[in-house]
Amino acid sequence: MTSNQTTDQLTVGIAQIAPVWLHRDKTLEKIVHYVQQAGKEGCRLVAFGEALLPGYPFWIENTDGARFNSDIQKEIHSHYMTQAVQIEAGDLDPLCRAAAEARVAVYLGCIERAHDRGGHSLYCALVYIDAGGVIRSVHRKLIPTYEERLAWATGDGHGLRVHPLPPFTVGGLNCWENWMPLARAAMYAQGEDLHVAVWPGGLHNTGEITRFIAREARSYVLSVSGVMRNRNVDPGVPHYQTIVANCPEVMANGGSCLAGPDGEWVVEPCVGEEKLIIATIDHRRVREERQNFDPAGHYARPDVTKLEVNRTRQSTLAIID
């Protein structure tokens, strides 16, 4: 192997795991363990699924979640809020320390209880932590999907950012944001050539779009999903018996995978098991495929079509002292 080949390569980890559902501390312990394992395996990036910390709101569609003013929904949501991540309070500090010790960058899907929006609404956030343990971006999902809107607020463009991870430039989107052409275009235009798509879990989500985005972007696309079964529900969750009785045995079957810049599989979808998937990718393949199509470069026409992105963190308050 030549030195040029060595510098072109990056080893990545895809952590397809289940949460200890709606239990932040126990789930965080599990995430830290996988970061440590990824470091031992030589990974320089490890990614986790959407809303993994403390968990996706699977109860909504299984417990009459759209019923207005329901005491059951209020009690579960209140618990969800107590288990959400408050970044300003240091809830992710153990993960930041683990990333720094392992020298591994991390993409993590979490539920953020945002202090800058009053602290009582929840956002589906994708957090990027660099290999030095520093949080570099927090992207709040632009539009929660369908029943998610009963639990999550709408985000903003502040986190639509990419990050250097030599030899790649990495960026990411939450779940169905990956279907939004302009959100994808915003990442491409910033030089993204390794795209991380996070999902709550499901081959039905990842099986087709992973390869499509890779082909469109001429980039590597890493799709990471969670897995979730009834047995992952923490018994301390309010209305535990009702939730378990109404949810199917398998709520998320994984489907994590990795596609190359030609749209072909590097790692085919993995279904039904918790696993740290490890792969080595080569930037040379990006450069080869960009020869005939570069969506933000020689195949773009900014004189005809151009995208404007507002990356201001949205707030209801502007204080002038």
| Catalytic residue ranges | 50, 141, 175
| C-alpha of 275 from chain center | 17
Amino acid present at 154: T
As a whole number of angstroms, the distance between CA 203 and CA 251 comes to: 12
d(CA 10, CA 286): 13
Report which of 182, 216, 178, 179 is spatially closest to residue 196, judged by C-alpha positions. 178
- Pick from 205, 222, 215, 200: which is nearest to 281 by CA? 222
CA-to-CA distance for 235 and 153, rounded, in angstroms?
27
Concatenating the DSSP letter of every residue in 54-72 gives T---TTGGGTTTT-TT-HH
- Which residues, 6 or more positions from 218, have their beta carbon under 8 angstroms from its beta carbon? 193, 261, 286, 289, 290, 293, 294, 295
Torsion, Cα 144 257 261 217, to 10 degrees, reads 0
* Residue recorded with tokens 């949080």: 135
Residue 66 exposed, middle or buried by CB count within 10 Å (0-12, 13-18, 19+): exposed
Check residue 69 and give left, alpha or beta (phi > 0: left; psi -120 to 50: alpha).
Answer: left
